[in-house]
Amino acid sequence: MQDNSEQKPSWFKKTLFYKTLDYCRQKPSYLFLTMIYDLVFVLGLYIINKLFMYLFPPQFSAPTFGFIIVLLIIALSFSLLYSFTKYIILSIIDSFTKSLHLKLESFGFFYLFNTIFFIITFLLLLTTNVFIKTYIKPELITTMQYILFTLLIVLFSMLLSIVHSNFIKKRSMKSALKQTMHSLSHLQTYKPIFNIVIINFIILSFMFLFVYILDKTYLSQLQDFNLYISISFVLFLILVIINYLLHVFNRISFYVNE
C-alpha cells in the first residue's frame, strides 16, 4: 500500500510561488525573451524622452496650444509603446505551455483600454494631490503624498495586471473586464497574489533599509570619494536587479493564478 503522503502533493507544490516557478521552467528561453521586450520598452522610453527634450528644451517655458498637442501625442506614444511591448510579453507568457501566438487582432482594444486606464489613473492621482495640499497640514504633505501615491499606484498596478492576464487568455477585452469584475467579487481568489506582493514589499524594504544603514554607518565615512561612488553604484544596481526579478516573477504569477 502506498503512503498517502506519496499520492498527495505537498503544501509547497500547491502554492502560487511553486506554480509560478514550475511554469517558468516550461520554456526558459521564452522567459528570457520577455526580458528582451522589457529592454525594448526601456529603450523606447529613452527615445521618447530624448524627443521631448529636443522639441522642448529646458529653456522652453511658454505652454502654447502646440505644446499641449505635442504633449498629448507623446503621451499617446507612451501608451502605444507600453501596450505593444506588454501585449507581446503577455503573448509570450501565454505560450509557455503551447505554441507561440503573436497575432494582433485584439491589440486595438488593448491599446484603447490602457490609454483610458492611464488617463483615469492620472486624474485620480491629480485629484488626490489636490486634496492633500488643500486639507493636510504643510509639514505632513510630503509624507501623505508618499503613502497615498504608493498605495494607489500599487492597487492600480495590480488591477491592471489582473485585467491584462484575463485579456491574454481569451484575447478579448470584453471577456477580460467581465472576468475581472467577477474575480473582484471573490477577492479570496487573489489572496496568493496579495501574499506575494506583501512578501516582495518586505524584501525590498529590508534591502533598502540595509543599504540606508550601510550608507550612514560605513559609506559616509569613506575618505575616497571614487570608492564611495563605485560602491553606491553597485548597491544601486543590485537593488534594481532584485526589484526587476521580483517584477518578472509577479507578472507571471498574475497569469498563473486562477
Q: Which of 59, 85, 102 is the last residue of a domain?
A: 102
8 found inside a domain: no
How confident is the model at residue 6, as a pLDDT? 53
The answer on pLDDT for 129 being more than 60 is yes
Q: pLDDT category, 5, cuts 50, 70, 90?
A: very low
Which tens digits make up the pLDDT trace of 214-256? 878 877 777 777 887 888 888 889 888 988 998 899 899 988 8
| pLDDT for 86 beyond 60 | yes
Q: Tell me: the pLDDT tens digits for 9-27?
A: 677 778 888 888 888 888 8
The whole-chain average pLDDT of the chain stands at 85
Same domain? For 77 and 121 the reply is no
Instruction: Report pLDDT for 110.
Output: 94
| Same domain for 131 and 60 | no
Determine contact, residues 168/91, Cβ cutoff 8 Å: yes
Same domain, 120 and 193: no
Tell me the per-residue pLDDT of 151-185, one tens digit each, with 9 for 90 and over: 899 889 989 999 999 999 888 898 999 988 887 77
In a domain, 232, yes or no: yes
Q: What share of the chain is helix, strand, coil (3-state, %, to 5)?
A: 85, 0, 15
> For residue 105, which of 156, 173, 52 has the smallest C-alpha distance?
173
Range of the domain at 72: 27-102
Which residue did the predictor score with more confidence, 185 or 138? Answer: 138
Confidence bin at 199 (pLDDT 50/70/90)? confident
- 242: Cα separation from own chain's centroid: 14
Residue 37 in grid coordinates: 521586450
What pLDDT sits at residue 84?
A: 95
Rounded average pLDDT over 122-134: 92
Where a domain ends, among 61, 83, 102?
102
pLDDT for 81 beyond 90: yes
* % pLDDT > 70, the chain: 92
CA atoms within 13 A on the CB side of 231: 15
pLDDT at 112: 95
User: Which residue, 25, 139, 94, is CA-closest to 251?
Assistant: 94
- Looking at 136, 151, 185, the residue that finishes a domain is 185
pLDDT higher than 70, residue 258: no
Number of domains in the chain: 3
Question: Considering the entire predicted model, what is its pTM?
Answer: 0.83
pLDDT in tens, 48-79: 888 888 877 766 665 666 667 777 888 899 99
How far is it, in rounded angstroms, from Cα 61 to Cα 59? 6
| Number of Cβ atoms within 10 Å of the Cβ of 231 | 16
Residue 61 included in any domain: yes
Cβ pair 176, 166 in contact under 8 A = yes
Q: Which of 137, 17, 121 is nearest to 79 (CA)?
A: 121
Residue 73 lies in a domain: yes
Q: Are residues 195 and 180 part of one domain?
A: no
Q: Is residue 21 part of a domain?
A: no
Q: Write 149-158 long-range contacts (CB < 8 A, 24+).
A: 149/125, 152/121, 152/124, 152/125, 152/128, 153/125, 154/197, 156/117, 156/121, 158/190, 158/193, 158/197
